[in-house]
Amino acid sequence: MLEFDQLFGRPAEVIAEIGFGNGTSTWQMAQSEANRNFIGIEVHQPGVGQLLLALQRHGLTNVRLYCGDAVPFLQQRIATGSLAGVRVYFPDPWPKKRHHKRRIIQPEFVSQLARCITNHGILHLATDWQAYAEHMLEVLQVSSDFVNLSATGDYCERPDWRPYTKYEQRGERLGHAVHDMLFEKLA
């Protein structure tokens, strides 16, 4: 298991971002939330390279990266209750019905996230695919580990900490509504 204070060289809350793409939102969050540490998890090597360059260009030292699949990484390297939060922004929606099983937000994965997130930590999801947003809500609503922070029981306004992403811009150009979902890990 990773020892975060040793890994980052300082004690601070750790936020994991899963599927950071080219990393623009990751370095922006790390810059604006300098009091926190970030772990970015991404399978796409060119995106990891772009983020490494951006971190160097902006002089950011509060980010560590993992290039690989999030599921085994969380299982094998992240201690129980060690993350202050997890952010999953605009994951692949796998819109074809036969591919829905490939969506990252599934009950088993949510259980793994619950294990990793500390009590009262925040799981933040965002998507511009209505069907995937509904799927995410369904999965989280049956989880006994999380409570929805939306006053209406569904979606929240985009929090200030989430940068405006290229996928969000693309979705808006296509006429898609963007849905943010915030869930608190129950004690």
Per-residue pLDDT, 92: 86
Query: For the segment 136-161, what is each residue's pLDDT rounded down to a tens digit?
Result: 999 999 999 999 999 999 999 999 99
Per-residue pLDDT, 51: 98
Task: Please pick, among 5, 69, 92, 145, the residue that the annotation labels catalytic.
Answer: 92
CA distance 148 to 96: 27
Q: Is 92 among the catalytic positions?
A: yes
Using the predicted structure, report yes or no on whether residue 94 has a pLDDT greater than 80. Answer: no
Query: What is the secondary structure of 26-86 as a DSSP string?
Result: HHHHHHHTTTSEEEEEES-HHHHHHHHHHHHHHT--SEEEEES-HHHHHHHHS-TT-EEEE
Using the predicted structure, report yes or no on whether residue 100 has a pLDDT greater than 80. Answer: no
How many other C-beta atoms lie within 10 A of the C-beta of residue 5? 12
In the chain, domain spans: 4-185
Using the predicted structure, report yes or no on whether residue 27 has a pLDDT greater than 70. Answer: yes
Averaged over 20-47, what is the pLDDT? 97
Using the predicted structure, report yes or no on whether residue 80 has a pLDDT greater than 90. Answer: yes
Instruction: Tell me which architecture the domain covering 4-185 has in CATH.
Output: 3-Layer(aba) Sandwich (3.40)
